[in-house]
Every structure is written in structure tokens, then in C-alpha cells.
Structure 1
């Protein structure tokens, strides 16, 4: 190669490198300007602030991953998305969905079943935390891996904030919600465990409740998150299956069959006769998942201990924490926010 050609090649490489750096600097600059423009509140979870982006609250680390998800994800009609507010039963739902969809490959409860070796959040990855998140939230642009169809995903994002490709596709969304009283207690205890591990002071019940009532919680306000999916489930029941944690606990057999039918792979009579549904119930039970090898050590998603995802799994534990004034305040908020909809919860005062 002639020296002149070599010189030109080096100049081109240098120019390309400068252009790449310039593009990255622009991304960082635009991201920083976006953060500065957003409403923010002191955070009671683990980061310093929550920012109000696309009508929901989230830490800054999730903003760029949300943008990347919205811009780059291409939904397939065969996709299945497990959605929820945090601490509403999403771990259980992901486990059930994974077991139902993959039941032809795992017909027994042998120790080799992935749900006994891994956390459901690893098997059903979260868009905003696992797939489009990363150590560098500004520059992360991760392509969705080539997964076996039907692809299973999870999200806590409100329905209006989902990518256009999701809302315009025929993919299936299973949304699980929970009594807001129980959500609050689970949310507060969950993030205090994380805070203690990070040597941060615990957030008092009163501090956390004040934020919660204002809607300031990750992927909240909780009422907006719930109502978005609830309304969509009424308008397009073939697209969104709306489940309640309390109903699932009350009759898990019935609801497992609902999920299977909804995603287009109903149980055959032979499967029912052979106890496949009962096996899935046992495999995905709170006790089974909590005690499994996949959940008693290590971390998952955004560096959270696997064991933190399993506390009690009970209904009505909120009565052990709420004062009469707290009950009155949250009841009024729910009455006001859910007014005009038929959304209600068992066990609420």
C-alpha cells in the first residue's frame, strides 16, 4: 500500500473516531439536558431522586433505558409481556407464565427445571432493567436477543409509555395488580432491605407513605399504572389480561387456565388428567420458589438480592402496619382516583 493511501486511511479512521466521540458527546449532552428539565423528588428507594418522565416516576438510570426500549424494540405478535406495578406479584406471574409457555419441555418437577435454578426475573427479562439497561445508561443500545418464540418479557412501565410497536402489535400482555394497601407495605419493606445493604438509613413508614399517597414511587403513581392497563383490558380483552393478585391466590388453578388460554396454548384434557396444572402450581408456589437454589443467593436485575423478592406473599398483611389515619387517607385516594371505573379490591376498608 502506498504511503499516500496509508495516510488517507489513517485520516479517515481519525475522522470516523472523532465523529463517533462527537455523537456520543451529543447523546450525553442531550441526556443531561433532559434530566435537568424533568420534575424530580427526593427518592425513598435507593437513588437520590426520582424523575417524572413520560407520566411516571423512575430513577435516572431507567430513563435512557426507557428511551432505548421505546425506540428500538420491535414487538412480534407472538410476544408475551408480564406487566405490573412493582411489588404486585410480578415474580409469581413471571414464574407461572414461564412454566405455562415452556411446559412441553419440562413435564416433571425434577431439580433441573429452570425455575428451581434461576429467579423468574432472569428467565423473563425486564425491558427497562435487563434488556435495555446497563452499566452506562447513557450509551446503552442493546438489541433484544434472538429468543425462542413465544418470547417472554416483563415490564413495570405504564401502558401509555410502552413502545408504539407493542401497542400496535397483537402481542399479549398479562397485567397483575394488587391491593394498594399491601403493595405499599411490600414496597416499603423491599426498598428498606436494599437501603440497609447499601448502608443507607431506613425510610420510616410515615415518610414512605407520604410519598406513596402523592404517587411518588417507582413506575407510579400506582393508580395511573393500574388504570392504564385496566382500561386497555376492557377495550381490548384479547390483548390485555387483567389479573388481581388476590383472585390468583384464591383460585390459582382457574387463573392458570385463563393465562394459558389467553396466550393461545390452552391445556389439553390429557394434560389436566396428568396433573400438569397441579405440577405448575407446586413448582411456582411461594414456598417452592423461595426455597429453591436459584433464589437463596446472588443478585438479579439491577443488582438486587434474589431473596429480597420473597417476603411473605400474604394478603391483608397491611393491617399490621396501617394506623386509622393512614387507612382513611389511602381509602379516600383510591375512591377518588378509581372513581368512574369498576376497578376495586377485595379486603380494602
Structure 2
């Protein structure tokens, strides 16, 4: 793991120049360490200790000029960690007075990813103070880190993240291309070679930020939210400055939002079940973003030895923290505990 965490040496002047022309960006890419990723379409490039697809890295660098405001809220995560769900919840919480009639709510006909855009694709004229990103904490624009913006970070068992990502990338691979096996993908993931990875470093970057500024960084555990969503939704609303009134709580507003944004409800909507989108020359069904959302689905794909390999890295990385250990108990096989 240590060998892949060494980042490419660069300076701020070079980063600024990269924003000017694609040619200079291609030259920059040519000097970055590269590694085959889980999809045959793109290699991954190592930048500041994190692995990116080239087009994603271009967005990360372009985002560095973003001028965040103290009122902005950033929803952060690794891919396949609950991003879609968090977007839906945050959007519904912030706009609940505007869209009080849930029977005609935008989420019924619009993807959560279209309700809240990614920072890497954002402009400065967003209607809502809500943006999402997969960028690790240490690579966020300086205006976010120093400007007092709120950050909400959701994370999930690395075993489920890995399995979900493997399925997603297979769906994003052209039919005439060859997918790598689950075993090959696991080898890369364990080495940290995954989009926006290593997984463990990404989680720890936000955990450390939370320890330093708990008033600005909220950590949400996917499994806790799935098992008992109401307290997490209330906590989320309080943290981002849109708390529920006593009257709203008495009228069941939290439960209504949980029901609207539930995996079961969103995954069954036509916009998320039947419609498609063009993504980098690949046509993807929107349902690819709603596979299962199940806690412990990794048990249907990983052998005990494969799970133990991921657990061992988690023990090494998360030991001494208050993060979930996500270790596979030999008796319950799939439950997770806290360190």
C-alpha cells in the first residue's frame, strides 16, 4: 500500500496552466504513474496519492478554482457508497418547503444525480447550495476547506463497495470489450487501485477532517442509515442548517422523506428503471445506479478468504479509530462491529 501512496510531484503554477489547454493536460498525464484499472476502457492515473480516470482528473483540477461559500454544502463519498441516496435525501430536506406536495416531487421524474450536480462539473450559478463530489478531502478546493462550508461524508463497508463497483463497471464496459475477473478486480482494489481510491485513505481523510473540525464535517455510516434511517435524516437536517420543526416531526415529515427517498421507492420509478443516459460513448441504463443497496451483499460474491483479505487491510488502516471495523465475524459472517 505504501508504494502506491507516493504522489506525483507538481506545483500550483503547473496546475493553473493545466486549466488552459487540453494539450497541456495531456502532457501532464503523460508524466503521471499509470495503472490498468477495473475496466479496459481507461487506465488510472495516480495524482496526490489517489487514482483517477483521466477525464475525472481533468475535472478535479478544473474544480480547484471553485469559490465555495460558507453557506455551501458538499456531499462527499467514494463511488458506490450511498451517493445517490444521500443526494436524494439532502435535496428533499433542503427543498421541502418548495416541494411540499410529495405527489409531484421532482425526484419522481428526475434522477438524484440530476438534482445535485458534481463539483467537478459545476459552475458558480447553481440554484441550490448543494454539490456532490468523490474527491478525497486533501484534494478538495482550498475554498471549501478554509471557507467554512459544511461537508457531509457517507461511507460503507469496503466489501460491499468493492462488489457494487465491480458490477457497475461491468455494466459500463462496451459489449465488445473483455471484463476482468472478480479475483483480478479484488487484487487491484486491495492495492488501492480503484477510481478515487485507495478506499481506506479516502475514508480516513474525511475522518481526520471530522476530528479537527466536527462542526464542519459530518460522517454518515451507510449501514446505520439503512437499519434506522430516521435518526440519521434528522441529524443530517440539523447539521446542514435545515432542521425539522416540532410540528413537522409530529406530522411525520421525516418518515415521508425517508419513504420518498428509499432505495425501494427510487429504484422502482420509471426514470430510474427504464430510462438511459449517454456516458462517455457508453449507453447506460439508469437502473445501473440502483442495483441492490443491500447490507452484506458481498457474501453472495466473495469467498471467506477474499473477505478476510479486505478485513485484514481494514484492521490495519482503521485500527485505533472510532470507525466501523467491518470485520466478518466467524459466527455471524457479515455483521460489522466497531473498533
- Same fold by TM-score greater than 0.5: yes
State whether structure 2 residue 289 is matched by structure 1 residue 309: yes
- In structure 2, the partner of 1:10 is none
SS at match of 2:241: coil
Equivalent in 226, 247, 251 of residue 274 of structure 1: 251
Give yes or no for contact 1:56–1:221 (8 Å, CA) kept in 2.
yes
Q: Tell me which of 43, 53, 57 is aligned to 2:47.
A: 53
TM-superposed CA distance for 1:301, in Å, is 6.8
Give 1:95 deviation, angstroms.
0.4
1:24–1:322 CA distance, 2 compared to 1 (3 A): closer
Q: Deviations over 1:128-162 (max 9, x none)?
A: 2x33xxxxxxxxxxxx142334x111000100000
CA distance in 2, matches of 1:179, 1:262: 23
Looking at secondary structure, tell me which structure has more helix per residue. 1
Alpha carbons 2:40, 2:179 under 8 Å: kept? no
Structure 1 gaps of 5+ residues are 1-22, 132-143
Task: Tell me the equivalent position of 2:323.
Answer: 343
1:120-159 → structure 2 map (5 Å cutoff): 120-128=112-120, 130-131=121-122, 144-149=123-128, 151-159=129-137
Tell me, yes or no, if the aligned pair for 1:107 and 1:276 is still in contact at 8 Å: no
Tell me how far 1:202 sits from its aligned partner.
2.5
8 Å contact kept, 1:300–1:306: no
Which of 187, 190, 210 pairs up with 1:213? 190
Cα distance in 2 for residues equivalent to 1:300 and 1:154 = 20
Change (3 A) 1:105 1:325: same
Is the Cα–Cα contact under 8 Å of residues 311 and 326 in structure 2 kept in the other structure?
A: no
Taking the TM superposition and a 5 Å limit, the aligned residue runs for 1:239-318 are 239-296=216-273, 297-299=275-277, 304-318=284-298
Structure 2 CA distance for aligned equivalents of residues 263 and 214 of structure 1: 35
C-alpha distance in structure 2 between counterparts of 1:66 and 1:237, whole Å: 25
2:142 and 2:40 mapped to 1: Cα distance? 30
Deviation readout 1:179-212 (Å, 9 max, x if unpaired): 01111110111111111x4532222110110000
3-state SS of paired residue (1:233): helix
2:325 aligned with 1:332, yes or no? Answer: no
- Listed as ranges, the matches of 1:76-155 within 5 Å are 76-110=69-103, 112-128=104-120, 130-131=121-122, 144-149=123-128, 151-155=129-133
Unmatched segments (≥5 aa) in structure 2: 1-16, 330-339
| RMSD of aligned residue pairs (Cα, Å) | 2.0
Distance 1:345 1:298, change over 3 A: same
Tell me if the contact between 1:94 and 1:120 (Cα under 8 Å) persists in the aligned partners. yes
Residue 173 (structure 1) aligns with: 151
Q: CA deviation at 1:120?
A: 0.7
Report how many residues are paired: 310
Corresponding residue SS for 2:172: helix
Q: Which has the higher contact order (CA 8 A, sep 6+)?
A: 1
Alignment-derived partner of residue 200 in structure 1: 177
1:269/1:47 Cα in 2 relative to 1: closer, same or farther (>3 Å)? Answer: same
